[in-house]
Amino acid sequence: MQYRKLGRTGVEVSTQCLGAMMFGDVGNPDYDECERMVHRALDAGINFIDTADMYSAGESERFVGRAIKDRRDEVVLATKFFFPSGEDRNRRGGSRRWIVQAVEDSLRRLGTDHIDLYQMHRRDWDTDLEETLDALTDLVRQGKVLYLGSSCYSADQIVEAQWAAQRRGTARFVCEQPQYSIFARSVEEFMLPAARRHGMGVIPWSPLAGGWLTGKYRRGEQAPAGSRFSGTSHPAWERRAVDVDPNSPARYDAVERLAKIAENAGLSLTHLALGFVAEHPAVTSTIIGPKTMEQLDDLLAAADVRLDTAVLDAIDEVVPPGTDVAGIDHGSGTRALNPENRRRSSADHLSAMG
């Protein structure tokens, strides 16, 4: 396992980050196995764990908190806020009102007195960014949070947040958590360079493209039981699965070509995919999200995989730099293209006519 500085902070994190999204009802509800996975990862040299308050409705945070209670000092602990937490319309987003409650809820579930990295899970278009930064800065000053981060921010959103923090003298986002994989490369054009320019760490999620880059989805074959496209997975994954056509010819074509590249390089497709993400100079730590111990052991074995130029060039032939395979949703889109935000209302139109 290798270690890199998290952006311009003095904190060193492992080049693999244990993602806990699959801990709990949505993935693996067996607490004892999840605890063993956490300890296996720590023993392998991982010192970075990422979760979120919305994963299994807070259950993931509880699993992580219980698993690290005797090893808290070994862990750079990251979690996220933004998504709804219950039916109350104010228990969501980036308002000061919700942030001060959300952090207390996460601290309680994690069983700790501070969060090392507190990340905004998505941009809140209904709340002034400066309100969000002011509230988060107060948490830093109180010692409840040490560093701030963003997730699924586009390049312009990253720049806006950095400028707003500088203008107001608030704490800034020190890292960004984007979707990045061989299938999701559009972030290479603007987002990753923006993060580098502003000295931000980058901790990509979904490096295996939701399982596609493990090779488990094959043309003409039934999806494995329990997988996202099998019809037998958790309802949360079934809802997400509709965003992508599981029978997309482009995806099957890419997987078949990439599998040959991996074979020629003496690697599994999974290790090829993880090695690809780790090679980008903007990337600090790649989030791995195992559901079982077997999966974790396979992912850990990829920690030191390096891809040479010939292999990277071959991957570029399959999915060109700066492009996405059809169906990728980076979660950073704005409302600008919604009809109500690109058409004048009747009143505006009449006013413009005089």
Residues catalogued as catalytic: 55
* Cα distances (angstroms) measured from residue 177 to each of 29, 66, 119: 25, 25, 9
Q: What distance in Å separates the CA atoms of residue 331 and residue 154, rounded to the nearest whole number?
A: 9
Q: What distance in Å separates the CA atoms of residue 100 and residue 285, rounded to the nearest whole number?
A: 28
* Cα distances (angstroms) measured from residue 240 to each of 63, 233, 235, 237, 245: 23, 11, 9, 5, 11
Structure tokens at 69: 């209670």
Cβ neighbors of 221 (< 8 A, separation 6 or more) are none
Region of 298 (left: φ > 0; alpha: ψ -120 to 50; beta: rest) is alpha
Q: Are 150 and 120 in contact (CB under 8 A)?
A: yes
DSSP, collapsed to helix, strand or coil, labels residue 129 as helix
Q: What distance in Å separates the CA atoms of residue 67 and residue 32, rounded to the nearest whole number?
A: 9
Amino acid symbol at 209? A
* Cα distances (angstroms) measured from residue 204 to each of 32, 168, 285, 289: 27, 28, 7, 11
* Cα distances (angstroms) measured from residue 349 to each of 247, 297, 335, 341, 342: 45, 62, 21, 14, 12
